[in-house]
Amino acid sequence: MSYIEMRRVSKRFGTVLANDNAALSVDRGEILALLGENGSGKSTLVNMLAGIYIPDSGSIYIDGKSRRFRSPQDAIAAGVGMVHQHFKLIPVMNAWENISLGERLEIDSGKERLLFNPFIEKKRVNKKITGIEERFGLVTVHHKKIYDMSVSEKQTVEILKMLYRGAAALILDEPTAVLTPQETKQLFAMLRNMKQEGCAIIIITHKLNEVMDISDRVTVMRKGNTIATVNTAETNPRELTEMMVGASISLEIKREEPALRDKPVMEVRGLTLTGIDGTLLLDDMNFDLYGGEMLGVAGIAGSGQKELCEIIAGLRKAGRGSVMCNGCNLLGLSPRQIKDRGVSMSFVPEDRLGMGLVGGMSITDNVLLRSYEKKPGLFIDRAEGGALAEKIVAHYGISTPSVRHMVRKLSGGNIQKVLLGREIDLAPKVLITAYPVRGLDIGASYSIYEILNEQKKNGVAVLYIGEDLDVLREICDRLMVIHNGRVMGIVDPRRTSKEDIGLLMLGHKTEAA
């Protein structure tokens, strides 16, 4: 029997069967990758192992003993810890305080149990943390505040927090989602050290190259079921994708050569934005955007991507600089004023249901939101909007019962296709996309890549903000790397290594830039 085994585990949320007799096993000294599309049930499965959900049926065994967790505390007591994608740390506290927070001390006076006081036990706590760091090859600055830490530093604190509580099994949910290549290498070195020390590790990720690099075995889930568990050395990305999707799918992102450069469609000069607290959110940004090309933007989360998009689209005012398009400076203009100046621009925001579409409205009504004010008369012609919605649904293969269906009831991929289809129907000269495939399945993601490539082929200038460096290097013609709101360099992704791009993301200048 493996150190951890989950057998015939099922979980239902209302009418939705999230896990259907699912199974998972991992041994000490092993790294298991858990793969599956969105909605496949992998998060529900590990949340039951972490004590966040209670299984409706099935069994969980830890080191040969049957367990039933009713809380994360129960799981931790059994040696199972989870590092979530969104960290559970208190920003105003330092590393050692976060690591030891909530610890209880047993004392020898009968059955009395006292709450741990970190300020009294500082020396003992830091000595214990140092011992864990030395054993597993981890490094953190104990007295450093969380709000001063990088994403990778926070992640190390989360891992230490679990090990401090005695976790022998660790679950990591999308641990490399916002890490640079250098930070990913550091994380994998830590995980290999932990593996050598006998930890059982489960890693949830959608990056197949990382699965092949770090894992010993792979468990694939689809529609709540465990499809297969295979040895990593005996499989490949294509086979894993077919198991996830249930059909053959091409993993190639086609990239047409960009059109010959003429005059830039958009010229950004000296773009600067200061936050409420006086910090520079954008620092003297300069770049050109050409028709028929895709300019990618890479950077650690919070480097100014959101602010850049919103300023160009007219949703936020900048402190100074210029955004020239069609001989007009767009800086400070609203989206409607930009359109009135004859500038055809579309924006696909990262929050597709918060900023892009209205979830409680139908596909037809969402399509009309961008064009109704141009129509004469007091009443909206829904017949015309319905015809346009039908055209978008047919062209982009949107799966929906009808165009009168509420948008929020669609899958993530279909919601994104509605948003992209509506924006592209406006025939933009500039298309700004922020994380267009975030949270989407593999099949839906590749459909979006094809749509964007089609726009580039039609001469549209595409600004693509993404977080997957492998995709950015494959799909983009040029790659602008930013750090803390400053452009570190604009490179050719085909001739620049991931490591050099990672250094730029961390704020280090390289020869490539």
As a whole number, the mean pLDDT across the chain is 88
Are 220 and 282 found together in one domain?
A: no
pLDDT, residue 27, reads 96
DSSP structural state of residue 499: H
For residue 156, report the phi and psi dihedrals to the nearest 5 degrees: -65, -40
pLDDT, residue 283, reads 92
Are 175 and 307 found together in one domain?
A: no
CB atoms within 10 A of CB 423: 20
From 245, 280, 296, give the residue that closes a domain.
245
Residue 229's pLDDT band (cuts 50, 70, 90): very high
**Residue 263: partners with Cβ closer than 8 Å, 6 or more residues away:** none
Please check the confidence at residue 160 and state whether its pLDDT lies above 90: yes
Any idea which of 222-236, 267-281, 283-297 has the lowest mean pLDDT?
A: 267-281
Please check the confidence at residue 257 and state whether its pLDDT lies above 90: no
Report which of 251, 343, 258 is spatially closest to residue 294, judged by C-alpha positions. 258
pLDDT in tens, 366-409: 998 877 666 655 566 778 888 999 999 998 888 888 899 999 88
Residue 412's pLDDT band (cuts 50, 70, 90): confident
Residue 85's pLDDT band (cuts 50, 70, 90): confident
| Reduced 3-state DSSP string for 424-456 | HHCCCCEEEEECCCCCCCHHHHHHHHHHHHHHH
For the chain, the first-to-last Cα distance in angstroms comes to: 53
Please check the confidence at residue 220 and state whether its pLDDT lies above 70: yes
Please check the confidence at residue 250 and state whether its pLDDT lies above 80: no
Instruction: Write down the number of H helices and E strands in the chain.
Output: 16, 22
Task: Give domain status of residue 415, yes or no.
Answer: no
What average pLDDT score do residues 488-509 get? 91
Q: Report CA-CA distances (Å) from 275 to 148, 310, 505.
A: 17, 14, 21
Query: Reduced to 3 DSSP states, what percent helix, strand and coil does the chain have, rounded to the nearest 5?
Result: 35, 25, 40
Are 235 and 270 found together in one domain?
A: no
Contact call for residues 81 and 75 (beta carbons, < 8 A): yes
Task: Tell me if residue 410 falls in helix, strand or coil.
Answer: coil
CA pseudo-torsion sign 38, 41, 46, 48: positive
pLDDT, residue 13, reads 86
pLDDT, residue 112, reads 46
Please check the confidence at residue 487 and state whether its pLDDT lies above 60: yes
Instruction: Show the CA angle centred on residue 275, arms to residues 269 and 276, nearest 5°.
Output: 145
Instruction: Show the CA angle centred on residue 172, arms to residues 192 and 12, nearest 5°.
Output: 140
- Between residues 112 and 31, the one the model is more confident about: 31
Highest mean pLDDT among 27-31, 138-142, 309-313, 447-451: 27-31
Task: Give domain status of residue 380, yes or no.
Answer: no
Where in the sequence is the domain holding 16, given as residue range(s)?
A: 4-245
Please check the confidence at residue 258 and state whether its pLDDT lies above 90: no
Task: Tell me if residue 302 falls in helix, strand or coil.
Answer: coil
- State how far the Cα of 254 lies from the Cα of 471, in Å rounded to an integer: 11
Q: Report CA-CA distances (Å) from 330 to 31, 151, 159, 264, 321.
A: 51, 34, 46, 15, 10
Give one word for 507, left, alpha or beta, with left for phi > 0 and alpha for psi -120 to 50. left
- State how far the Cα of 167 lies from the Cα of 71, in Å rounded to an integer: 15
Please count the CA atoms within 13 angstroms of the CA of 189 that sit on its side-chain side.
11
pLDDT, residue 256, reads 77
pTM above 0.95, yes or no: no
Task: Give domain status of residue 496, yes or no.
Answer: yes
Task: Tell me if residue 397 falls in helix, strand or coil.
Answer: coil
Please check the confidence at residue 271 and state whether its pLDDT lies above 90: yes
What average pLDDT score do residues 267-282 get? 89
pLDDT in tens, 441-477: 787 788 889 989 999 999 999 999 998 898 999 999 9
Are 206 and 337 found together in one domain?
A: no
Task: Give domain status of residue 219, yes or no.
Answer: yes
Task: Give domain status of residue 291, yes or no.
Answer: yes
Are 196 and 323 found together in one domain?
A: no
pLDDT, residue 90, reads 93
Task: Tell me if residue 226 falls in helix, strand or coil.
Answer: strand
Are 219 and 272 found together in one domain?
A: no
What average pLDDT score do residues 140-147 get? 93
- State how far the Cα of 25 lies from the Cα of 4, in Å rounded to an integer: 5
Residue 72's pLDDT band (cuts 50, 70, 90): very high
- State how far the Cα of 264 lies from the Cα of 286, in Å rounded to an integer: 13
- State how far the Cα of 437 lies from the Cα of 449, in Å rounded to an integer: 8
Are 186 and 69 found together in one domain?
A: yes
From 245, 276, 309, give the residue that closes a domain.
245
Report the domain count for the chain. Answer: 2
Q: Which two tokens stand for residue 30?
A: 């092993």
Maximum alpha-carbon separation in the chain: 83
Task: Give domain status of residue 274, yes or no.
Answer: yes
Are 468 and 327 found together in one domain?
A: yes
**Residue 112: partners with Cβ closer than 8 Å, 6 or more residues away:** none
Report which of 8, 48, 12, 6 is spatially closest to residue 26, judged by C-alpha positions. 6
Contact call for residues 404 and 360 (beta carbons, < 8 A): no
pLDDT, residue 444, reads 77
What average pLDDT score do residues 200-225 get? 93
Please check the confidence at residue 239 and state whether its pLDDT lies above 60: yes
Q: Report CA-CA distances (Å) from 84 to 52, 487, 499.
A: 12, 31, 26
Task: Give domain status of residue 382, yes or no.
Answer: no
pLDDT in tens, 332-352: 899 889 988 888 899 998 888
Contact call for residues 6 and 25 (beta carbons, < 8 A): yes
Are 278 and 210 found together in one domain?
A: no
What average pLDDT score do residues 299-313 get? 90
pLDDT, residue 115, reads 53
Q: At 148, which CATH number?
A: 3.40.50.300
From 245, 274, 306, give the residue that closes a domain.
245
Please check the confidence at residue 118 and state whether its pLDDT lies above 70: no
Please check the confidence at residue 509 and state whether its pLDDT lies above 80: no
Are 195 and 282 found together in one domain?
A: no
DSSP structural state of residue 60: E
Helix axes 181-196, 498-505, angle to 10 degrees: 100
Helix axes 151-164, 122-136, angle to 10 degrees: 100
- Which DSSP helix (H) or strand (E) runs through 195? helix 181-196
Are 268 and 230 found together in one domain?
A: no
Task: Give domain status of residue 422, yes or no.
Answer: no
Residue 437's pLDDT band (cuts 50, 70, 90): confident
Are 133 and 273 found together in one domain?
A: no
Instruction: Show the CA angle centred on residue 475, arms to residues 415 and 217, nearest 5°.
Output: 80
